Amino acid sequence: MRITGGSARGRVIDGPSGLEARPTASKIRQAFFNILRNIVPQARFLDLFAGTGLMGIEALSRGAVSLIAVEESRKLAKGIESDLRRLGFEGEVICADVRKVFPLLAAGEFEIIYADPPYKSRLTLAVLQSVQKHNLLAPDGVLAVEHSRADVLPEEHEELISFDRREYGQTAVTFYRRRPAD
């Protein structure tokens, strides 16, 4: 798996063999970072269900100023830490269930939150609820949720509204931001 842009473009991320993680495809990563190209530089990035850590590491490569990667698998979390060190990036890796981490994060801290819950896990709604409940997005922040194309995510969830949905084969990414103040 190669980083597709930024200072570490072309560098390789070590990923696990087998089906332990489902890394985000390079065309989806490129499209995601193109869509958010204006906010990635200087962004504080939260990578939920980080897996290989590729999304967060790519964000750092493209100019994000900080990364918190949350991954429940100890093996995958150690791999993210190893790749961060090897590539010369700093980031915090939290090895825990994402649902237990939400209350520990600072309100309004993240310009970009990327969530890639296991498909068919029913954790997508929990992510929307927790990001809203704990007010994790910065005022102009974006929450992006990667999910199966067959899944229909809500257009609105409390103060979060969907502003874009992109489909790539069997995968979709739905983008949310806070509802504008009246």
Joined together, the tokens standing for residue 78 give 């150690």
Averaged pLDDT score across all residues of the chain: 91
For residue 103, is it left (φ>0), alpha (ψ between -120 and 50) or beta? Answer: alpha
Instruction: Give the Cα separation of 44 and 111 in Å (integer).
Output: 5
Cα torsion angle, 78, 84, 55, 127, sign:
positive
The verdict on domain 45-178 having CATH code 3.40.50.150 is yes
pLDDT single digits (tens) 44-55: 999 999 999 999
> Tokens 């910065």 identify what position?
138
Write down the domain spans for the chain.
45-178
Residue 87 has pLDDT above 60, yes or no: yes
Summarize pLDDT for 123-134 with one digit per residue, the tens: 888 999 999 999
Above 60 in pLDDT, residue 20?
no
Residue 179 pLDDT: 87
What separation in angstroms does the CA of 54 have from each of 43, 122, 132, 133? 16, 23, 25, 27
Average pLDDT over residues 163-179: 94
pLDDT at residue 103 greater than cutoff 70: yes
> Is pLDDT above 70 for 94?
yes
- Amino acid residing at 86: R
Range 137-144 average pLDDT: 96
pLDDT score at 152: 84
Instruction: Note the pLDDT of residue 21.
Output: 65
Residue of higher predicted confidence among 20 and 105: 105
- In this structure, of 22-31, 90-99, 130-139, 162-171, the range with the lowest mean pLDDT score is 22-31
